[in-house]
């Protein structure tokens, strides 16, 4: 029996700013399950590539870089080769570069095992773009969370401001739309709902309402106990 059959995974896919990160963190904390922020992995590769002046289309070099990194997630901090990159990977230039490196098949292949290794008891909540379609296709609950681009840009603005990073809402909207296009159109693991995903539009929903909807679905599928 593979880990996929034994350890439950809830996948939460969708575009940036749809609320995936928040919902994943709250759900993982509530269930006491592990958390995979797969976007952080692409951001780490991008940040390290920028720091080393690597070309963002050099597949072999980026894949080798991805495989060489010692990545550790501890609570809400991420360290890479011992250096705390928690804030660095959230900066806007890294977001743009991450979307570029994420389109490279060799990079995606290089971090596949790393992602699957996160499937540990008692369960995993995995946040990304291809969690339900590629990384954990057998997951018993797949969520696809979406929201209008305008609302997602506003949420990203508030998120960046709260982290003390500079931001402009109009520039963020343009950047989000451009990234959405790239993430959806790329040939490898494009952003799209799994055929068996539950679709949730969070444009008009509060975080608690989305969390309740996902939690209820997990109870209905007997992945977790009811209240
Ligand atoms: O969710 P995020 O904004 O941290 O993701 C950063 C980038 O990585 C984003 O452009 C999409 C990409 N990504 C991906 O291609 N596949 C994933 N599973 C997660 C993120």
Over the stretch 198-217, which tens digit does the pLDDT of each residue have?
999 999 999 999 999 999 99
Of the pLDDT bands very low, low, confident and very high (cuts 50, 70, 90), residue 2 is low
How do strand 124-128 and strand 9-13 relate by DSSP bridges? parallel
Give the Å distance between the CA of 42 and the centre of ligand 1: 6
8 A C-beta contact, residue 40 and residue 53: no
**Which structural domains are found in the chain, ordered by start?**
3-213 (3.40.50.300)
Q: How far apart are CA 206 and CA 77, in angstroms?
A: 26
Give the Å distance between the CA of 227 and the centre of ligand 1: 33
Residue nearest to atom 15 of ligand 1 (CA): 102
pTM to 2 decimal places: 0.91
Residue nearest to atom 16 of ligand 1 (CA): 129
pLDDT above 90 covers what percent of the chain?
76
The per-residue pLDDT for 5 is: 57
The per-residue pLDDT for 1 is: 45
- What is the overall mean pLDDT for the chain? 93
Quick check: bond before 122 cis, omega within 30? yes
Angle between helices 38-51 and 59-68 (to 10 degrees): 110
Give the Å distance between the CA of 95 and the centre of ligand 1: 8
Is the pLDDT assigned to residue 3 strictly greater than 70?
no
Over the stretch 76-94, which tens digit does the pLDDT of each residue have?
899 999 999 999 999 889 9
Q: If 0-12 CB within 10 Å is exposed, 13-18 middle and 19+ buried, where does residue 29 land? A: exposed
What phi and psi values does residue 145 have, to the nearest 5 degrees? -105, 125
* Residue of higher predicted confidence among 182 and 24: 24
């Amino acid at each position: 029996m593979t880990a996929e059959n034994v350890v439950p995974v809830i996948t939460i896919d969708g575009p940036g700013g749809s609320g995936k990160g928040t919902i994943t963190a709250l759900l993982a904390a509530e269930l006491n399950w592990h958390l995979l922020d797969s976007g952080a992995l692409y951001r780490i590769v991008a940040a390290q590539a920028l720091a080393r002046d690597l070309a963002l289309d050099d597949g072999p070099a980026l894949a080798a870089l991805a495989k060489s990194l010692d990545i550790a997630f501890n609570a809400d901090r991420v360290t890479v080769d011992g250096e705390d990159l928690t804030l660095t990977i959230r900066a806007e230039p890294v977001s743009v570069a991450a979307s570029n490196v994420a389109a490279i098949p060799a990079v995606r292949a290089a971090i596949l095992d790393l992602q699957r290794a996160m499937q540990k008891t008692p369960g995993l909540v995995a946040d990304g773009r291809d969690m339900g379609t590629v990384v954990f296709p057998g997951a018993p609950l797949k969520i696809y969370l979406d929201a209008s681009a305008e609302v997602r840009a506003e949420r990203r603005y508030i998120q960046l401001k709260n982290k003390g990073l500079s931001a402009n809402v109009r520039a963020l909207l343009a950047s989000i739309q451009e990234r959405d296009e790239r993430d959806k159109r790329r040939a490898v693991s494009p952003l799209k709902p799994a055929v068996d995903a539950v679709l949730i539009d969070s444009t008009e929903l509060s975080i608690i309402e989305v969390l309740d909807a996902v939690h209820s679905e997990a109870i209905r599928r007997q992945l977790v106990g009811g209240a």
